[in-house]
Amino acid sequence: MDEDNEIAYHLYEKDGHVTAIWEMQGRKHMRTIDPRSEEGKRILGSHTADDDEPPAEDAGQQATA
């Protein structure tokens, strides 16, 4: 599948809770999925975070250390 057509999910968090899931095709936002919905729960349960990016908290601590 071409990278521009690949579907990816971006999670948005606030205070440690996922508030929205964005379905992206390339750089285009296709739709927003409620994480409390059946589909949102299925996505959260079946996908993992990319391992190549450290969590934001760790990145901030590394930058100041």
Segments forming the whole domain that contains residue 8: 3-50
Higher pLDDT, 46 or 54: 46
- The pTM of the whole model exceeds 0.85: no
Q: Is residue 59 part of a domain?
A: no
Paired with 18 in beta bridges are: 13
Task: Tell me whether residue 7 is in a domain.
Answer: yes
Q: How many domains does the chain have?
A: 1
| Number of helices (H), then strands (E), in the chain | 2, 3
Q: Does some domain include residue 58?
A: no
- The answer to whether residue 40 is domain-embedded is yes
Q: Which whole number is the average pLDDT over 30-42?
A: 97
In this structure, what token pair is assigned to residue 39?
């589909």
Q: Is 12 domain-assigned?
A: yes
Give the residue among 21, 19, 17 at the shortest CA–CA distance from 9: 21
> 15-25 b/e with 16+ CB inside 10 Å = b?
eeeeeebebee
Please indicate, yes or no, if residue 16 is contained in any of the structural domains.
Answer: yes
Averaged pLDDT, 31-57: 79
Q: With a cut of 70, say whether residue 59 has pLDDT above it.
A: no
Q: What percent of the chain has pLDDT over 70?
A: 66
pLDDT of 64 over the 50 cut: no
